[in-house]
Amino acid sequence: MRKYRFAILSFAHIHAWSYARVLKELPNTELVAIYDDSPERLIKAGDAFKIDVDKRYSDYFKLLEKEDIDAVIVASENAKHRDLVIAAAEHGKHVICEKPIATTLKDADEMVQAAKKHRVKFQTAFVMRYHEATVEVKKLLERGEIGDILVITTTNHGMYPGLWFADPKLAGGGAVMDHTVHTADLMRWYTEDEVNTVYARIGVNIRPHLPTEDNALILLRFRKGVLGSIDCSWSRPDNWPIWGDVYLGIIGTEGYILVDAFRSCITLASENKTLKWIYHGPDCDKEMIRDFVKCIEEDREPRASGWDGRQALEIALAAYESHKRGEVIELPLA
Amino acid sequence: MLEIMSKVKVAVVGCGFIANAAHLPSLKRIENVEIAAVVDIIEERARKAAEEFKADKWFTDYTKVLDMKDIDVIDVCTPTYTHCEITVASLKAGKHVVCEKPISLKLREANEMIETAKKENMRFMVAHCLRFWPEYVRVKRLVEEGAIGEPRIARAYRQSGFPMWAPWHKKIEYGGGVFIDMSIHDVDFLRWVLGEVYEVYAQGGVLLHKDSTAPDYVHALLRFKSGAIAYVEGSWIMPEGFPFTTYLEIAGTKGLLTVDNQYTASLKVFKKNTCSTYTPQSEDAYYLELKHFIDCVVEDKEPLVTGEDARKTLEVVLAAVKSIRENKPVKLPLGEEVIL
């Protein structure tokens, strides 16, 4: 069996740790080298995943020049995605990029262009397209089990993730930037349609000390008329039993589907700890990377492409614009 | 002021779903209440209700009970578009009035009802039952006690199939549709907890039941003067057999609370192809609501839900209809009537 050789470019995003675990677990992938611009993180990740010291890079260019790898996973701060993705593409490496794809449409477009030009696979890490429950929903919809979609109500709640997630320069925003794109992408996938209008309101912060927003509500209308809503708020307190949720209520002409993707949990009360819900459901990170390798092998487009990342980003940016102007925003953005 | 020990005589006008399912059984259980008469334009329904709830008299014309000197309270359970006429006539006849929600479909009518109650010096309450619903009252108290700090963002759903038991709901000019008739509960409750709304944006309309002129799905984004925001969803387009589902969450600076009627009920009853999920309580919302109004009448107190409250809530749900029509956010107060 051919082993696909990966590097992870930055462990700034917490998901990087899960992707590294998956690369170790899957039979046909290996984690060969890592890069990070934080010396502490480089040591921490290097030690955690037993990466040889000479395979730990503080210069991604050097890593891309020296290492014999097939693909990279970019999990830096959002604003740094662009440079890493374009450099990887220029070196002929396939790319998985953490969401949101970037913080501006200009960056996103350049990334998509670079991947196209250098003929590498470019996957946005919309792991929710690989969660077995949401995949099942896609099949149910395709079989017409609930008729035509009328409305999709979604939430992607979370705790405040800390780190750089509320740094406007690195993250490009707060909860709207972080949590709009997952369910926006699922809605695009399910409706096979694009968003026509966006209306959004950012609330007064739950955590007043944060420099970015931590709660907002978004209403969408798709071109063919499907209505949608997103609650992207970091409204879960630190002692909530689980990090958050991905919830979708899909109303069709002949039925209703309710997805509560991370509700498959064991309830645990443990000494000196708050009550926890321990998730035991599908491993969407693993499914995504497994499928990505197949995309390389079979030379096909990833299920969630760079373009999908770009389209979801546009919805998040339109939400900011709508809040700023107090108006319904039409897509595409000018 | 009425004699404390004497029974309060109530006439229920309209013997449809809400009267039979909630008002009449609750009134029956209030010790100092006597159901003196029931009225329905359908004779059969009036007679049946009188029989079942042991009312002395039944009529098909509500003006008959206005002539009865010994009747103290009129409980208006008719379709929404008739609320104003019956309420105003009852108040003018010297009766106290408790009226089902929505107060009316027109702000002008709501004004008239409020002014008449004042002028006639009669008690008037609109039956916004969530203000008496045990878990919702608990939520209100928790928020007041500071359990979640300053409220910031709320979600409220109310979902069911189309209310086929009342065909008038299919006409927008009779019932106003799902947001005006059903989401009004959540809007009123959120106003109670979060304060006044100043802007509404909504999407929706007649999505599924094309024989209806009344919207069967609406979702709206509300902005409150307090700075809080809320997502409110009302759906009558759930599949047949879908259990009536309500959900509420409020996140604040110090915490988060959720209420979910499907997850937190104390009883589930399974029968062939159906499952009912509920929490039976003898002092349920309808009992507490009507008991409260009777107490207000007896003790000459202002009811918890005033006509003004109900009017403000009506204004928010009307703004949602206007927002859908214009596809833009609508600011309150409304400058003009929204014609349904």
Same domain, A180 and A235: yes
ipTM score for this prediction: 0.88
CA distance A310 to A188: 12
Same domain, A188 and A97: no
State the pLDDT at residue A264: 92
- Domain endpoint, select from A85, A120, A155: A120
Burial pattern B51-64, b for ≥16 Cβ within 10 A else e, equals eebebebbbeebee
Question: In CATH, what number is assigned to the domain containing residue A52?
Answer: 3.40.50.720
Burial pattern B292-320, b for ≥16 Cβ within 10 A else e, equals bbbebbbeeeebbbbbebbbbbbbbbbbb
Angle made by CA atoms B317, B323, B324, in degrees to the nearest 5: 100
Write the single-letter amino acid at A165: F
Residue A12 lies in a domain: yes
Same domain, A87 and A217: no
CA distance B222 to B201: 7
State the pLDDT at residue B263: 84
Tokens coding A217:
């509500």
A30: Cβ contacts below 8 Å, ≥ 6 apart: A3, A4, A5, A6, A23, A24
Residue A180 lies in a domain: yes
CB-based contact A328 B328, cutoff 8 Å = yes
Domain spans of chain B, in order of start = 8-128+285-301, 131-283+314-331
Using CA coordinates, name the residue in chain B closest to A204: B227
CA distance A197 to A222: 7
What number of other Cβ atoms are within 10 A of residue B247's Cβ?
Answer: 18
Residue A302 lies in a domain: no
Cβ under 8 Å to B: A residues 151-170: 151, 153, 155
Same domain, A195 and A100: no
Same domain, A20 and A134: no
Facing residue for A229 by CB, picked from B219, B229, B242: B219
SS3 (DSSP) at A139: helix
In total, how many domains does chain A have?
2
Residue A296 lies in a domain: no
State the pLDDT at residue B3: 52
- Domain endpoint, select from A68, A93, A120: A120
Residue A108 lies in a domain: yes
CB-based contact A207 B223, cutoff 8 Å = no
Question: In CATH, what number is assigned to the domain containing residue A154?
Answer: 3.30.360.10
CA distance A196 to A206: 30
Give which of B201, B210, B240, B330 to mutate to test A binding, by max A Cβ within 10 Å: B201
A26: Cβ contacts below 8 Å, ≥ 6 apart: A286, A289, A290, A293
B243 close to B277: Cβ distance less than 8 angstroms: yes
Same domain, A229 and A188: yes
Same domain, A65 and A101: yes
Same domain, A114 and A20: yes
- Domain endpoint, select from A64, A88, A120: A120
Same domain, A145 and A242: yes
State the pLDDT at residue A235: 97
State the pLDDT at residue B2: 52
Q: Which of A18-22, A205-209, B244-248, B272-276 has the lowest mean pLDDT?
A: B272-276
SS3 (DSSP) at B125: strand
In this structure, whether the domain defined by B8-128+285-301 belongs to CATH 3.40.50.720 is answered with: yes
Give the mean pLDDT of A225-237: 98
Distance of CA A227 to the CA centre of its chain: 22
CB-based contact A255 B239, cutoff 8 Å = yes
* Annotation: CATH topology of B131-283+314-331: Dihydrodipicolinate Reductase; domain 2 (3.30.360)
In chain A, residues with a C-beta closer than 8 Å to the C-beta of B204 are 227
pLDDT averaged over chain B?
A: 95
Same domain, A71 and A195: no
State the pLDDT at residue A94: 98
Distances (CA, A) of B187 to A69, A282, B54, B323: 57, 37, 36, 15
Tokens coding A124:
């946005």
State which residues of chain B have pLDDT below 50: none
Same domain, A191 and A324: yes
**How much of chain A, in percent, has pLDDT values that exceed 90?**
97
State the pLDDT at residue A271: 82
Residue A235 lies in a domain: yes
CB-based contact A201 B223, cutoff 8 Å = yes
Residue A291 lies in a domain: no
Distances (CA, A) of A66 to A2, A20, A33, A163: 21, 20, 10, 31
Domain range for A172 is: 129-284+313-330
Same domain, A277 and A135: yes
**Of A310, A334, A314, nearest to A116 (Cα)?**
A310
A4: Cβ contacts below 8 Å, ≥ 6 apart: A28, A29, A30, A70, A71, A293, A296
Distances (CA, A) of B216 to A31, B78, B128, B171: 53, 20, 21, 11
CB-based contact A219 B237, cutoff 8 Å = no
Residue A290 lies in a domain: no
Is A323 a residue whose pLDDT tops 60? yes
In chain B, residues with a C-beta closer than 8 Å to the C-beta of A204 are 152, 227-228
